Chains A and B, each alone.
Chain A
Amino acid sequence: MSKPVVLKVNSATKRFGGLLAVNNLDFEVTEHEVLGLIGPNGSGKTTVMNLISGALKLSSGEIRLEEKIVSDLPAYKISQLGISRTFQLVKILPTLSVIDNVISGGVFGYHRMWGENAEETALHLLKKVGLAALAFKPTEQLTYIDQKRLELARALAGNPKLLLLDEWLAGLNPTELQIGIELIHSLRAEGRTIILVEHVMDAIRSLCDRCVVMSSGVKIADGEVAETLKNPEVIRAYLGDSDA
């Protein structure tokens, strides 16, 4: 029994001038799957996220969302087709209220709403991420984790087919990290399809069904989490060559 493929990356390549940031990358994400995209710093993970969301254009290769090629579309069209994301460096809309920040994710994207309906959905999402009390406040007062929560609520507002979380857990303290992991767990329980770029290995172990490991722009492993993390090549990529 094979589950339907949501996202398919086919020999994706991205060059910045002479630098090969992503080299001939292939992987798939199936429905309801949580995929971890990991690798040492500079291995090209965030570039992959940017390629999928349309923030960057591929140099060659293609990316398909449910059979439809999306890699030649602008970011706003990709968002309308059902891919939402959070950013590595949190991007809040500072002059909008907390609830308007959330609504912004659900007005123009994949699943569209407006008016009272939008407000209800946004309140519901804020409750889910734990920000209900601050809904009508300005964003100035938000702490770092609250900003991250807000960004997640915004990404969920469009009810996307695929959610991209770019180091969403980075920078949180241990207590916050626990809350964060639980939150993503609840998304997983809902059956969301997610790609997770993450450095926190505990999170990868507990959250992901599968992981793809990158090093210097190339995929070096792809498979079930525990097994993949034992792969000698993966260990070498993280810790360096023991013979060197």
Chain B
Amino acid sequence: MIKITKDEIRILLYMVVAVAILACLPLLDQGYILSLGLTIVMYVALCTAWVLFSGPTHYISLATAAFFGLGTYVVGIGIDVLPFPILLIIAALIGGVVSGLVGIATLRLSGVYFVIFTLGMAELIRQIVTWIQTNFTTGIGLYVLTDFSEAHIYWMLLALTVLIFITGWLINRSRLGFAMRIIGNDETVAAHVGIDSAKAKVLLFLISGAYIAVIGAILAPRFAYIEPPSAFNPMISFLVVIMSLMGGTRTLWAPLIGVVPFTLLFDMVSARFPNHSSILLGIAFLLIVYLIPDGLIGRIEGITKRFSKKKERTHE
């Protein structure tokens, strides 16, 4: 389980090629397509970071918007004082500390407590930030003025996505990943072979939260003007859940399959029928539960399996 297999090398090569091709996008277009590409890469990064935790644990985290908002705020507050890379590190630290604390408070208990806690978390942090800003600072909004173009942000996000993938791969090969597989099989056995399952889950949630905060930080220059309602928009949390589950959560790259079509669809619907976007989310959730519980990846695997079985039969 420690040696690198041939399959892994092949996947690595594919990834290098894919990333190289994607990195060329800003050279082709600087307008609408790049902007759309940026949104897609943002959701790919968010979903991958989300699946890092929610995939193996099956805990539905709705805290994405909270960590994302924290990240943007770190940049909003510090941009005039500190260099951007340092702000990214600070965002990771704050995201990690907050997710770690939330994890310690909730992950010892059943999944429901965790979902409820994360459900209102973006709103909670938004209220606290607004309160601090109105009472202790001069205004609510923050300007983030940088020299970054959309292309720069796109490249940074793409690089971060690669980093998240590598992290996920390393976790999978580590004791932590092994522990998560055992927990996923049987939590009683896990405890009796010496695994502190609460600690493992907290650690994973911490890593995921830190990455999400960094994604928020990278995107701050795109917003240029940051205020609590847009930075802590709960919609982000729900979209990430839908896209990830739509793709599938058993592998890190499965969410990709959900992100691209759903981003396009949601972008179109919310532009043309802004009042109908909630209905779309509702339908998406119901669709996932009733028709594609294993995600599109599960569907695809099912079809290919049936296909190869048929093939075998015709060969006999």
- Where chain B touches its partner, the secondary structure class is helix
Tell me whether B196 and A76 are in contact (CB under 8 A): yes
Known A114-B175, A115-B2; judge A96-B182 contact (CB<8 A). Answer: yes
Tell me whether A79 and B188 are in contact (CB under 8 A): no
Known A76-B197, A107-B175, A115-B2; judge A95-B185 contact (CB<8 A). Answer: yes
- Cβ of B299 < 8 Å from any Cβ of A? no
Tell me whether A96 and B181 are in contact (CB under 8 A): yes
Partner of A75, one of B178, B179, B185, B191: B191
- Cβ of A85 < 8 Å from any Cβ of B? yes
Tell me whether B175 and A108 are in contact (CB under 8 A): yes
Tell me whether B2 and A76 are in contact (CB under 8 A): no
- 5 A-B pairs, CB-CB below 8 angstroms? A74-B196, A79-B194, A104-B178, A104-B189, A109-B194
Tell me whether A91 and B182 are in contact (CB under 8 A): no
Q: Considering the complex, which residues of chain B in the window 186-208 have a beta carbon less than 8 Å from any beta carbon of chain A?
A: 186, 188-197
Q: What 0/1 pattern do residues 76 to 106 of A give for CB contact below 8 A with B?
A: 1101100011010001011110001001110
How many Å lie between the Cα of A109 and that of B196 in the bound state?
Answer: 10
Known A104-B178, A107-B175; judge A93-B185 contact (CB<8 A). Answer: yes
Known A95-B184, A96-B182, A115-B2; judge A108-B195 contact (CB<8 A). Answer: yes
- Cβ of A158 < 8 Å from any Cβ of B? yes
Question: How close is B150's CB to chain A, nearest CB, in angstroms?
Answer: 43
- Cβ of B279 < 8 Å from any Cβ of A? no
Question: How close is A119's CB to chain B, nearest CB, in angstroms?
Answer: 8
Closest to A105 in B: B193
Tell me whether B188 and A91 are in contact (CB under 8 A): yes
- Cβ of A116 < 8 Å from any Cβ of B? yes
Question: How close is A93's CB to chain B, nearest CB, in angstroms?
Answer: 4
- Cβ of A168 < 8 Å from any Cβ of B? no
Question: How close is A50's CB to chain B, nearest CB, in angstroms?
Answer: 10
Residues of A within 8 A of B196 (CB): 74, 76-77
- Cβ of B81 < 8 Å from any Cβ of A? no
- Cβ of A55 < 8 Å from any Cβ of B? yes
Question: How close is A46's CB to chain B, nearest CB, in angstroms?
Answer: 14
Question: How close is B177's CB to chain A, nearest CB, in angstroms?
Answer: 11
Tell me whether A55 and B193 are in contact (CB under 8 A): no
Residues of A within 8 A of B194 (CB): 76-77, 79-80, 107-110, 158
Q: Considering the complex, which residues of chain A in the window 35-84 have a beta carbon less than 8 Å from any beta carbon of chain B?
A: 53-55, 74-77, 79-80, 84
How many Å lie between the Cα of A74 and that of B188 in the bound state?
Answer: 12
Tell me whether B178 and A107 are in contact (CB under 8 A): yes
Tell me whether B192 and A116 are in contact (CB under 8 A): no
Tell me whether B2 and A104 are in contact (CB under 8 A): no
Q: What 0/1 pattern do residues 134 to 175 of A give for CB contact below 8 A with B?
A: 000000000000000000001000100000000000000000
Partner of A109, one of B1, B181, B193: B193
Residues of B within 8 A of A80 (CB): 194
Tell me whether B192 and A104 are in contact (CB under 8 A): no
How many Å lie between the Cα of A104 and that of B183 in the bound state?
Answer: 11
Closest to A151 in B: B189
Residues of A within 8 A of B191 (CB): 54-55, 74-76, 79
Residues of A within 8 A of B189 (CB): 87, 91, 93, 104
How many Å lie between the Cα of A53 and that of B188 in the bound state?
Answer: 11
Known A100-B1, A107-B175, A114-B175; judge A158-B193 contact (CB<8 A). Answer: yes
Tell me whether A93 and B186 are in contact (CB under 8 A): yes
Tell me whether B192 and A55 are in contact (CB under 8 A): yes
Enumerate the 4 nearest inter-chain pairs by beta-carbon distance, A residue then B residue, closest first: A109-B194, A108-B194, A79-B194, A93-B185
Partner of A84, one of B1, B181, B192: B192
How many Å lie between the Cα of A93 and that of B192 in the bound state?
Answer: 13
How many Å lie between the Cα of A195 and that of B184 in the bound state?
Answer: 29
Partner of A95, one of B1, B178, B181: B181
Question: How close is A155's CB to chain B, nearest CB, in angstroms?
Answer: 9
Closest to B3 in A: A116
How many Å lie between the Cα of A74 and that of B198 in the bound state?
Answer: 11
How many Å lie between the Cα of A56 and that of B193 in the bound state?
Answer: 16
Partner of B182, one of A54, A77, A104: A104
Residues of B within 8 A of A85 (CB): 192
Which of B178, B186, B194, B197 has the largest number of chain A CB atoms within 10 A? B194
Q: What 0/1 pattern do residues 149 to 189 of B give for CB contact below 8 A with A?
A: 00000000000000000000000000100110110111011
Which of A91, A104, A119 has the largest number of chain B CB atoms within 10 A? A104
Tell me whether A75 and B175 are in contact (CB under 8 A): no
Further contacts, 6 of them, CB under 8 A, given A77-B194, A93-B181, A104-B178: A75-B192, A95-B181, A104-B182, A104-B193, A107-B194, A119-B1
